[in-house]
Structure 1
Amino acid sequence: MSLQPIGPLRDRHDLRSLAYLAMQALAMAWQWRHGFHPVVFAASLFLAVGITVIHHNHAHLPMWTRRGLNRATDLAITLLQGHPTCAMHPAHRLNHHRHHHGPRDVARTWRFGDHNHLGGWMLHPFQALTPVYPLVLAWLRRLHGRHPGAWRWYALQYLAWIGSWAALLLLDPGKALLLVIVPQLFGLHWLLAANYLQHAHADDREPLARARNFEGVLNPLLFNIGLHTAHHAHARAHWSQLPGLHRQYRARIDPRLLEPSFPAYVARVFLLAPFMPRYRSRSLRLATTTAPRPHKDC
């Protein structure tokens, strides 16, 4: 499916991305003015997860065809997400998508034990930050000497993030923490923990066995983030193109890496498996058989 631009917007489907950004700003502002509301707060938590997916997609393929609009979107995501967008490039594109969850991927899930359970998912973001953030800082140091203009732009993102937190905490610490920072941290946890969901017990040695795929209602709500094999094979494809690409690969993906329902997967692997061994996940890296090798163009 070819892209469907609207003016400088690269594809019309990103009107939904822009709507998520606007709704999150409105949800936070409304509660700041009117007070905590459980339904609005729950929506804000969901939107926080959605914004991390938007950030991921925007890092792979910028939303706009104009530099100024992309930079404005970078700042908007930085402020709404609670962390600079620039960190995605060294941590994700230069690391994860270069090494595809293999031995040189510093955030590979099996670095911290080849397991797949609730505790591993909960801890993975904290474990991954330890090797990942030195990559980000080293990349920023190199930029400072080689590309000072880019470094200043990324420094501005850090100032915007830290400045926004400082300003809100000075205005009202309680509101800032509950209504803004907690949803942002919730979303950031999901951003990092998604790596665990998508790759724990997968097999990085085979291109079509590197990632787990979640089908079902998750994808329409979260920009097709569950179709991860197709994303690794076509990292620059727009997220709206992933269902078509997924259909091309699906028959060659190990069935153990195809999950029809994300809630059912969580219930089976994270909640029931500790008490019912038949539901426990098994590592494909340790299995005697793996998914069939793909064609060379994969």
Structure 2
Amino acid sequence: MKNNSKATKHTGIFKHKEDRWPVTIILMLTLLDFVLYFTLENTTLLIGYYLLMIIPKGVICAWNHHHQHLFTFRSDALNRGLEFFYALHTGVTTNLWRLHHVLGHHVNFLDQEKDESRWQRKDGSKMGVIGYTLEVAVTAYPRGYSVGKRFPKQLKPFMTYLAPTFLIVALLVWFNPVAGFFLFALPMITSLLFTAYVTYDHHSGLSTENEFEASYNNLNRVFNFLTGNLGYHTAHHHRQGVHWSKLPALHATIADKIPEHLYMRSLFSHR
């Protein structure tokens, strides 16, 4: 049984076989973006496609998040390539979430004076969702860099790939301004804001030192299918190194420790 378990985690170039379909779909969407970039000249259609893809690209942010916790491929080169494509969809470049989220938020989410995604104002009051969204999005890169100063090995890839990523995006916009803007530049901004917006519901209003009472959990099946079980949020914080596919099983072991009012089942919100 032990050998079979290991075999399920190491299939080909992927560390976990469960990542094959999500990554394939995301790369196909990337290919579609580039096909449209080189072939579509109708501004109205480009705007329509941008609007249509706001939610799908927002969902991709969840998979970028999973990748920052546990790299998808065995190969560093493939991981860096995937991160570039993730950045085009999400506005989050190599290692930003590893610094801001993995080494920042997950360490400090119980301390609102330090939390990189803090929902509490300095006076102790709860931010509104708009204020939280803007603050977390605008400060994402500075806060990520600040965390990185304590983790130079993680900061180096962030700094190495930051400028080339934005340079390529700038060249895409320069070469084909309208398509480059609506297919790449604007979605990056929108998705970063979308990411901040949806994370407001993860912890806001839960001021506690008990990790089992500090997160809302969304048990909606569709939500967890689309986001890779991100709704099992207490389990994710309990053991952030667990692969997304194993979160339901981990949740089952701690479910009795989570207060009933922290269980939600709606698709679009935890509240």
TM-score normalized with structure 2 length: 0.82
Q: Which of 128-137 and 84-93 deviates more? A: 128-137
Q: Percent identity?
A: 22
The one-letter amino acid of 1:237's match is V
List gaps (5 residues or longer) in structure 2: none
Give 3-state SS (helix, strand or coil) of 1:201's partner.
Answer: coil
Give the 5 Å matches for 1:146-225.
151=156, 153-216=157-220, 217-225=222-230
Structure 1 residue 129 displacement after superposition: 4.6
Of 27, 51, 71, the residue aligned with 2:80 is 71
Change in CA separation of 1:53 and 1:169 when aligned onto 2, cut-off 3 Å: same
> Is 1:227–1:242's contact at 8 Å kept on the other side of the alignment?
yes
Is 1:47 aligned to 2:52, yes or no? no
The one-letter amino acid of 2:239's match is H
The count of residues paired between Structure 1 and Structure 2 equals 259
Of 248, 251, 260, the residue aligned with 2:253 is 248
Residues 96-155 of structure 1 show CA distances to partners (whole Å, capped at 9, x for unaligned) of 111224232142212366447xxx223313212565543333355667xx66x962x433
Structure 1 residue 20 displacement after superposition: 3.2
Residues 52-82 of structure 1 show CA distances to partners (whole Å, capped at 9, x for unaligned) of 1121111111112233322232233234433
What CA distance in whole angstroms lies between the structure 1 residues aligned with 2:73 and 2:191? 23
> Is 1:81–1:188's contact at 8 Å kept on the other side of the alignment?
yes
Change in CA separation of 1:69 and 1:232 when aligned onto 2, cut-off 3 Å: same
The one-letter amino acid of 1:107's match is S
What CA distance in whole angstroms lies between the structure 1 residues aligned with 2:139 and 2:205? 20
The one-letter amino acid of 2:144's match is V
Give the 5 Å matches for 1:263-274.
263=268, 265=269
What CA distance in whole angstroms lies between the structure 1 residues aligned with 2:92 and 2:141? 12
> Is 1:78–1:157's contact at 8 Å kept on the other side of the alignment?
no
List gaps (5 residues or longer) in structure 1: 270-298
Is 1:237 aligned to 2:247, yes or no? no
Equivalent residue, structure 1, for 2:115: 105
Of 137, 142, 146, the residue aligned with 1:138 is 146
Structure 1 residue 175 displacement after superposition: 1.9
Is 1:20 aligned to 2:25, yes or no? yes
> Is 2:61–2:195's contact at 8 Å kept on the other side of the alignment?
yes
Is 1:257 aligned to 2:262, yes or no? yes
Change in CA separation of 1:204 and 1:177 when aligned onto 2, cut-off 3 Å: farther
Structure 1 residue 236 displacement after superposition: 0.5
Give 3-state SS (helix, strand or coil) of 1:111's partner.
Answer: coil
Equivalent residue, structure 2, for 1:87: 96
What CA distance in whole angstroms lies between the structure 1 residues aligned with 2:52 and 2:24? 13
> Is 2:68–2:97's contact at 8 Å kept on the other side of the alignment?
yes
Structure 1 residue 43 displacement after superposition: 5.1
